[in-house]
Amino acid sequence: MKPVVIIPTLNECQNIVRLIKGILKEKLNLDILVVDGLSTDGTAETVEKLSKEYPNVSLVSQESRSSFGDALRLGFKTALQRGYDPILTMDGDYSHGPEYLKDFLNKCNEYDLVIGSRYLDGVRVEGWRFRKLLLSKLANMYVSYLLVKPIWDFTSGFRCYRRRFLEKIDISSLHNEAYIIQIELLHLAYQNRCRVKEIPFIYRDTKYGVSKISEHSKRKTMLYVLKFRAPFLEIFRHLTYLRKKYERFVDEYEEIMNPPKLKNDGRFEVKGCYSVSVGVMAYNEEKIIESCLDALLNQKMKSGKIDEIIVVSSGSTDKTNRIVQEVSRKDERVKLIIEPERTGKANAINEFLQIANGDIAIVESADTVTLPDTVEELIKPFADPQVGMSGAHPTPVNDKNTFVGFCVHKLWELHHYLAMDAPKCGEMIAFRNIVSRIPKYTAVDEATVEAIISEANLKLVYAEKAFVRNKGAETLRDFIKQRRRIASGHRYLKTTMGHEVATQSSGNIFKKVIATQNRTIKEMLYMPFLILIEAYSRFMGAVDFYLRDKNPFIWDISLTTKKM
């Protein structure tokens, strides 16, 4: 398909010839579609003459003088009918330089909407008075904080749209006001989980440029944009970035909303025997890492074979690295990657995913130990081509007779019964090796992989016989710290990726509590306190997320979980 540039015009006779010839001078093999709003200065007649000289220039006139939004809608519909892709838009007053068109075309293969930004990495506006520039900048900040989107320039009309995005929306229902339609299109792009990118350009106010947008329209935009606002709690959380580096918010959102493509475009083979890559994420695991690796090296398997075990040691300061190196000398399947500093478990998983060669990737925490048939049970479900991920059945080794031990066992018991109804993967997961990386700011890595696999329209499976021993916290302080961190991480996942794990539903959990309640004195006494602790942890997790901007993707270690 061929690109097209849509140029809405209203009395742009003094600019349009220079603009069209400037575009043609770039030699980009694209067409130019001018949508005229019944100009009275001869704009349409001028374009008609140019169209006879240049076959790739055409004119569409509106039936009546109307708004910019009407012109843009007509342009989109005409471009789609004629089979164009991508579809660029720019102003007719030469404020948008034709020399930037090649930058849009370079980015459009990767993104569904590319926005030419006047405010990305500084202010790039020439010819405006300070007052006008200040009001424009403040207006964009206002929209940014209402919509909670990492965009610097919401009202720029210099854009590039992919056909696949425009075909997802109802073009006829778009607003007719100039600024509102630009904001609405951006809102719809994110709503449809399209990939959005800003690129910088220099906006040059022209000698003959006269704003066609009234003050009434600008005020209307400020009110109408409330229709697209984010939930109040998200707006409140976003305000915390006023006192921090806003670039981090942009970085986080960019990573969540513009994830990398799946490996091999998500294609995979269904095999009778799979090659398996295991990634073991470690930090100061000298007390358990050898047991973890020995258990993996001695797996009994029929449905596959473990080809490699990659240990990613993140900032370990104990004997972890030395122990792994000793094991690797005995078995060449074991490999060690050393990260000098802890940058979060998600980053460690990404290191593993970059080099994992197996058909199936398995991620395991180094403070867990598998049974001899755990990996076999994990990969059995992949005989079904609709299955994309499976999760193990964690079984804690904590003493059940203590209060904290009871809490740990009860939560994993509830996790088991909930996962039987709606798969929830945790502690050890297996998935088809199509995930190239996960967002580095996530604190709930297994749940994030769940979200990516679900978005690829593949099923999740709970492998209830794939037992993996883990160690929960031994002190109440560590237990609450863990539950609070997980609650905050799940909030982040739901807000950014729209994915909610099965264990987040309080109603479902309460039903399982009633169904699994033992009528012993100890359980009747302990259970109300566990409910209170969980409620407190979830509440404080929400406080951490919304009010304190505490996203624990690099979490504090609970030392009592490090020895099994």
Q: Domain with 347 in it: what CATH number?
A: 3.90.550.10
In a domain, 251, yes or no: no
The b/e string for 510-546 (b: 16+ C-beta within 10 A; e otherwise) is eebbeeeeeeeeeeeebbeebeebbeebbebbbebbb
Rounded to an integer, the average pLDDT of 486-504 is 66
In a domain, 426, yes or no: yes
In a domain, 247, yes or no: no
Tokens 């804690």 label which residue?
396
Which DSSP category does 556 fall into? P
Indicate if 496 and 556 belong to the same structural domain: yes
Report the alpha-carbon distance of residue 253 to residue 233 in Å, rounded.
17
pLDDT, one tens digit per residue, over 328-374 is 999 999 999 999 888 888 889 999 999 999 999 999 999 899 999 99
Indicate if 474 and 432 belong to the same structural domain: yes
In a domain, 246, yes or no: no
pLDDT of residue 420: 83
Rounded to an integer, the average pLDDT of 190-215 is 75
Indicate if 219 and 287 belong to the same structural domain: no
pLDDT of residue 10: 87
Query: What strand order describes the sheet that includes 113-117?
Result: 57-61, 31-36, 4-9, 87-89, 159-161, 113-117, 196-200
Helix segments in 82-169, DSSP class H: 101-107, 130-147, 163-166
Indicate if 187 and 317 belong to the same structural domain: no
Residue 210 has pLDDT above 60, yes or no: no
Give the whole-number percent of the chain exceeding pLDDT 90.
42
Indicate if 487 and 547 belong to the same structural domain: yes
- What Å distances lie between residue 297 and 356, 360, 367, 448, 524, CA to CA? 17, 16, 16, 27, 42
Contact 435, 264 (CB under 8 A): no
Rounded to an integer, the average pLDDT of 372-377 is 96
pLDDT of residue 256: 64
Rounded to an integer, the average pLDDT of 279-291 is 92
SS3 74: helix
Tokens, residue 166: 């425009």
The CB density around residue 307, as the number of other CB atoms within 10 Å, is 15
Contact 84, 1 (CB under 8 A): yes
Residue 267 has pLDDT above 60, yes or no: yes
- Under the banding of pLDDT at 50, 70 and 90, the label for residue 503 is low
* Domain final position from 209, 230, 251: 230
Tokens, residue 272: 């009778």
Cβ within 8 Å of residue 376, ≥6 positions away: 299, 300, 301, 302, 303, 304
Tell me which H or E stretch contains 13: helix 13-25
Helix segments in 423-559, DSSP class H: 445-455, 476-497, 506-516, 521-546
Total domain count for the chain? Answer: 2
Indicate if 12 and 108 belong to the same structural domain: yes
Q: Packing angle between helix 130-147 and helix 232-239, nearest 10 degrees?
A: 130
The CB density around residue 184, as the number of other CB atoms within 10 Å, is 21
**Mean per-residue pLDDT over the chain, rounded:** 85
Report the alpha-carbon distance of residue 330 to residue 93 in Å, rounded.
72
In a domain, 351, yes or no: yes
In a domain, 249, yes or no: no
Indicate if 401 and 356 belong to the same structural domain: yes
Q: Can the peptide bond before residue 372 be classed as cis, meaning omega within 30 degrees of 0?
A: no
Indicate if 398 and 467 belong to the same structural domain: yes
Look up the domain containing 354 and give its range: 263-561
Residue 381 has pLDDT above 90, yes or no: yes
Report the alpha-carbon distance of residue 107 to residue 197 in Å, rounded.
8
* Domain final position from 213, 230, 247: 230
In a domain, 257, yes or no: no
SS3 309: strand
What single letter denotes the amino acid at residue 418? L
In a domain, 330, yes or no: yes
